[in-house]
Amino acid sequence: MKPKILITREVFDETLAYLAEHCDVKSNQADKPFDPATLALHLQDKDGVVCCLTDRIDEAMLASGKRLKVVANIAVGYNNIDVPACTKHGVMVTNTPGVLDDSTADLAWTLILATARRLTEAEAYVRAGDWKGWHLKQMLGVDVHHATLGIIGMGRIGQQIARRAAGFKMRVLYQNRNRWPADVEKWLNAEYATKEQLLAQSDFVVLQMPYSPATHHYIGAAELKQMKPTAILINSTRGGVVDDAALVEALKNGTIRAAGLDVFENEPKLNPGFLELKNVVLAPHVGSSTEATRRAMAMTAAKNAVAALTGSKPPNLVNPDAKTKA
């Protein structure tokens, strides 16, 4: 008998076909997110689940899914999953690292350029019919080339962001949990800095660290005051690493120049103050959203799940200490 697996959100046809070769598949192709009670009900007889960052898998959910052997997240981050609880219950947790690094780095750069050159503000100006012709001081932005880029979180995605800075001849500073060896810093053309040094010296500050209790409000009112008044903040990682209320006030008061955001606290809800501001570029958490990348993410999650359910070690196992269920 094939193991039973739940897919919590719509996926691609090839992902469904692959999973169907190995599993009895229940898929939410209607793509209406499950509320917690409905998700718990669906998990009662499932051996595995392929889920998204919008699905919270915690102790209460594991109590319903007693048969679960694997939680395969279609994301590189997994703050939606209580990993210690899964480990305790012998449930493997997997993610999708690597396949989305370049696309997410591209999106970070999209935010950098769009914010620096006031692109969304300029487009709205044109669409509203307010543009009456060229003049010298129209929509003045800031240069990206030769500026200082500060990256907080120099993992795979942070490194790809840094590599792209070479084309703009930027000075790159980075802050990371651990400093990289000299040869890696040379390859990245990046200098290690303390958090305080990076905030004080950078023209663009890009956040690319995972969200956790330790990084909650990593950037708040105090940190925003340490930045240059001409600086731009880019959050392309996870909501919650920035105190959004403090950021709204900083943008209103000119504490920093502007911000580009792909993620928010409590998304899809967002602080309504952002909608009143012109000096912020807003995107709906689309960092990895290219067709090729999202297809690769879904298939990676599917392969992780199948490996776990057929007695193999998943390629992207987050919690190797989980004692797998028979």
Does residue 154 have a pLDDT over 80?
yes
User: What is the 8-class DSSP label of residue 33?
Assistant: P
Give catalytic residue positions: 238, 267, 285
Q: Which residue has the tokens 């200098």?
A: 191
* pLDDT of 23: 97
Alpha carbon distance 309, 239 (integer Å) = 32
User: With a threshold of 0.85, does the pTM exceed it?
Assistant: yes
**61 in Cβ contact with 40 (< 8 Å):** yes
- Say which CATH architecture domain 101-282 belongs to: 3-Layer(aba) Sandwich (3.40)
Q: How confident is the model at residue 170 (pLDDT cuts 50, 70, 90)?
A: very high
- Convert 262-292 to b/e letters by CB count within 10 Å (16 or more is b): bbbbebeebbeebeeeeebbebebebbbbee
**56 in Cβ contact with 50 (< 8 Å):** no
Alpha carbon distance 109, 236 (integer Å) = 9
Domains 4-98+291-309 and 101-282 share a fold: yes
Domain ranges of the chain: 4-98+291-309, 101-282
Q: What is the sign of the dihedral through the CA atoms of 313, 317, 321 and 323?
A: negative
DSSP string computed for 232-279: EEEE-S-TTSB-HHHHHHHHHHTSSSEEEES--TTTTS--GGGGG-SS
Alpha carbon distance 69, 107 (integer Å) = 34
Residue 127 phi, psi (nearest 5): -65, -30
Helix axis angle for 13-22 and 291-309, nearest 10°, is 10
* pLDDT of 324: 74
Alpha carbon distance 292, 52 (integer Å) = 17
Whole-number mean pLDDT of the chain? 96
CA 284 remoteness from chain centre: 11
Convert the pLDDT of each residue in 104-152 to its tens digit.
Answer: 999 999 999 999 999 999 999 999 999 999 999 999 999 999 999 999 9
Alpha carbon distance 319, 82 (integer Å) = 11
Count of other CB atoms within 10 angstroms of residue 20: 13
Does residue 185 have a pLDDT over 90?
yes
Topology, domain 4-98+291-309 = Rossmann fold (3.40.50)
Alpha carbon distance 277, 315 (integer Å) = 44
* pLDDT of 326: 63
* pLDDT of 323: 79
Could you give the 3-state DSSP secondary structure of residue 211?
A: coil
Residues 6 or more apart in contact with residue 21 via CB below 8 angstroms: none
Convert the pLDDT of each residue in 72-105 to its tens digit.
Answer: 999 999 999 999 999 999 999 999 999 999 999 9
Exposure on the CB side of residue 311, measured as CA atoms within 13 A: 2
